[in-house]
C-alpha cells in the first residue's frame, strides 16, 4: 500500500511566552509498502530539563525498532506472520527494545554533557510517545502517556490507551524504570480496505476541542481538503501551521504536533 503523509507542528503559546522551543518532536519514514510515524511530547517542566531531546530520542528509537520489525516481517507468509504477531503480544520485545534504545540515546547525550557521569538521571528526558507502523499486511499502534491515534476505516475510531498511571495523578513516561510495561502495544493483521487513514497527534491538539465530535469533524475536514484537489491540498499545506498556532493560542496553549497517514490506493 502507498501512503501520502501530511504533517505539521507548532510551538505552544505557553512556551512562546517563556521564550522556549517546542517540547514535541515528530518523524516519519516511508517504506516500500507502508509507513512508520512517531510523535513524542516532552514534559517540559523544570525537572525535565532535556525533555525536548527526550521526545526526539523516543521518536528515533521508535523508528529504529519498527524498521527492524518491518524488515523481519515484510516477506513472511500468512502463517509465519501470525506466529510473529502472537509472539510480540506475549514477549513485549518491541516495548523493551524501544525503552532500551531510548536509554542508549539518552546516555550518549548525557555523557556528552557530563563525560564522567556514572548515574544517568532519565527524568531529565521525560517524554510521552505514540507510534504507528502500517503496511500491506499489519497495523501496529503503540503509546505511553497522552497523545492520541485515530483510525478511519468504518468511521471514527479513537485508539484507546489502556494502561493505568504507575503513580496516581502522574503521567506515564519513558523515564520510568519499567517504562516498557506502560507502553500499550496493539498489533494485528490488516487488509488493504481496513484502514483508509490514520491520524496521530500530541495532546495539545486533542485539548483544543471540546468534544470528540468536534475533533472528528475537524480531522475529516482536513482529510477532505487534502484529497479534494490540487488547489485545496496546496492551500492546506500553506496555511495549516498557522491554523495550529491559532488553535494553541485560543485553546490548549500547548505545543501541537500532528501526522496524517492517507492511503492512496484504495480498492
Query: How distant is the alpha carbon of residue 170 from its chain centre?
Result: 20
pTM, rounded to two decimals: 0.96
pLDDT for residue 14 is more than 60: yes
pLDDT for residue 266 is more than 70: no
Pick the CATH number of 2-264 from 3.40.710.10, 3.30.420.10, 3.60.40.10, 1.10.3210.10: 3.60.40.10
252 vs 237: CA distance, rounded Å:
22
Task: Tell me the domain boundaries of the chain.
Answer: 2-264
138-153 pLDDT, tens digit each: 999 999 999 999 999 9
SS3 223: helix
pLDDT for residue 191 is more than 80: no
Q: Return the beta strands (E) in the chain as ranges.
A: 3-10, 24-31, 34-42, 127-135, 138-144, 148-152, 156-158, 184-189, 197-201, 256-263
pLDDT for residue 90 is more than 50: yes
Grid cell locating 227: 484529497
Amino acid at each position: 500500500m502507498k501512503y501520502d503523509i501530511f504533517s505539521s507542528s507548532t510551538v505552544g503559546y505557553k512556551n512562546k511566552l517563556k521564550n522556549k522551543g517546542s517540547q514535541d518532536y515528530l518523524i516519519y519514514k516511508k517504506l516500500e509498502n507502508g509507513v512508520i510515524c512517531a510523535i513524542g511530547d516532552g514534559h517540559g517542566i523544570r525537572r525535565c530539563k532535556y525533555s525536548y531531546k527526550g521526545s526526539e530520542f523516543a521518536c528515533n528509537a521508535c523508528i529504529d525498532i519498527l524498521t527492524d520489525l518491518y524488515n523481519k516481517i515484510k516477506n513472511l507468509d500468512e502463517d509465519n506472520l501470525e506466529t510473529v504477531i502472537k509472539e510480540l503480544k506475549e514477549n513485549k520485545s518491541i516495548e523493551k527494545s524501544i525503552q532500551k534504545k531510548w536509554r542508549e540515546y539518552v546516555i550518549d547525550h548525557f555523557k556528552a554533557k557530563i563525560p564522567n557521569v556514572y548515574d544517568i538521571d532519565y527524568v531529565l528526558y521525560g517524554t510521552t510517545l505514540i507510534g504507528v507502523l502500517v503496511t500491506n499486511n499489519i497495523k501496529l499502534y503503540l503509546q505511553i502517556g497522552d497523545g492520541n491515534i485515530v483510525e478511519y476505516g468504518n468511521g471514527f475510531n479513537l485508539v484507546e490507551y489502556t494502561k493505568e498511571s504507575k503513580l496516581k495523578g502522574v503521567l506515564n513516561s519513558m523515564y520510568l524504570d519499567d517504562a516498557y510495561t506502560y507502553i500499550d502495544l496493539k498489533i494485528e493483521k490488516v487488509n488493504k480496505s481496513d484502514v483508509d487513514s490514520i491520524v496521530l497527534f500530541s495532546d495539545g491538539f486533542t485539548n483544543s476541542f471540546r468534544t470528540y465530535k468536534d475533533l472528528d469533524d475537524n480531522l475529516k475536514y482536513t482529510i477532505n481538503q487534502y484529497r479534494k484537489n490540487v488547489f485545496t491540498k496546496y492551500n492546506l499545506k500553506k496555511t495549516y501551521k498557522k491554523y495550529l498556532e491559532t488553535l494553541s493560542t485560543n485553546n490548549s496553549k500547548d505545543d501541537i504536533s500532528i501526522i496524517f497517514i492517507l492511503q492512496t490506493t484504495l480498492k
